[in-house]
Amino acid sequence: MNTSEQIDKKIADHPDWRGELLARLRRLVREAEPEILEELKWRGAPTWSHNGLVCVANVYKDTVKVVFAKGAKLADPDGMFNSELAGNAWRGITLSENDKINARAFRNLVRSAVELNSDGNSTKSQSKSTTAASRRRR
């Protein structure tokens, strides 16, 4: 099972609002950056990378949380970040069942994070698996 299928399974394992929200967040990430690399890390959490980590999603009992690795360096004019606000790097968006996500603002955060990683602020480059993943999508 490839990574994309594993994330599909993670979504299916949550057949309630949490799975639906995770699927929507995933769609928005991919819309914002079609060449983003999906991976599973940290106990099976879906992560998205482009020249370094962009964000990671976790499903909890009552929330779904997306954390941006360099969120503290991102402009957030729409006030999307509502958790992990005290640190020097990470910023999070914690969503409960009835919360709505501003799709435009979320995509803008993803694009900004990708741009930040691409501006030479990240020492990581796209891994070989990125190239392989791109070939599989074609």
Over the stretch 19-64, which tens digit does the pLDDT of each residue have? 999 999 999 999 999 999 999 987 889 999 999 999 999 999 999 9
Q: For residue range 56-109, what is the model confidence (pLDDT) as tens digits? A: 999 999 999 999 999 999 999 999 999 988 889 999 999 999 999 999 999 999
pTM assigned to the model: 0.83
Looking at the domain covering 3-131, what would its CATH class be?
A: alpha beta
Domain ranges in the chain?
3-131
Q: For residue range 35-47, what is the model confidence (pLDDT) as tens digits? A: 999 999 878 899 9
Q: How far apart (Å, rounded) are the C-alpha atoms in residues 85 and 50?
A: 23
